[in-house]
Amino acid sequence: MVSNSPKRMIITVGDSRVGKSTVTKLLIDLFQYQVKRIKVYNHDNRQRLKAYERVVKIETLDFFRDDTDKMLNNFNDDQLDIILVDMPGQYIDKTCQYIVQSDLFDLLREYEWKLTFLQPISHRKDCVNSLDKLIKFATNNANYVVAKNHYFDTRFSEYQESIQTKFHQIGGTEIELSALHRDHYEALERTSKPYSLCYTDTSIYLVYRSYIYYWIKNFNNSVLSNNTAIQYLGL
């Protein structure tokens, strides 16, 4: 499998509305805490990452309209540790097509960057199908992290029954995003601030802030207690 490297490209992929942007934001906070030098590309026109423009450079990107040279030019930037790309949902086929057309795997090897696909999953079978398609395409050219989003499920039976064994065999690892009540999540989003600032924001009810704090803490612990996830996410 792909070995550890101080330089990582991390691409969030998968189904729509399973938590890709949420996981991306939590990771940005974690990278900032560890003083990682990062560049973020947002492929989502809903501007879900806008609150993070204050703390990290974020550029829009369109993989499917020849808008990727600016991202590829970062491979020879010695001032970067992480390139984080937040992809839209339901575009796994086009993402794979872009990778082929841009010779991305070869470029990553040439510049000694490593690639990680990060996919949040819910209870839906579409998540499993997307992950299976990605693994068959990328094989050992990448590392794989699944984020189990407990807002949607706690058992993940579709994942466990059809692909989990194969996923572990190719070196994939799992992290967890614990459930956060919708009211608490909406309060979090309304602040238009990075998540790491929200549990001290007095515009949010104190009890909500407590839940938000432990939600963030649980995610960080899930990542930082997993040595494989630490490696694959460049931490």
Question: Domains along the chain?
Answer: 8-181+227-232 (3.40.50.300)
For residues 8 and 5, give the distance between their C-alpha atoms in angstroms, rounded to a whole number: 7
pLDDT value of residue 66 = 63
Nearest to 49 by CA among 26, 74, 15, 81: 26
Structure tokens that stand for 77 in this block = 């930037």
In tens, the pLDDT along 96-130 reads 888 888 889 999 999 999 999 999 999 888 889 99
Instruction: Identify the segments of the chain with pLDDT beneath 50.
Output: 1-4
pLDDT at position 64 is: 64
pLDDT (0 to 100) of residue 65: 67
pLDDT of residue 46: 61
Give the per-residue pLDDT at 3.
43
* Residue pair 173/144 in contact by the 8 Å Cβ criterion: yes
Distance CA 189, CA 177 (A): 17
pLDDT, position 102: 83
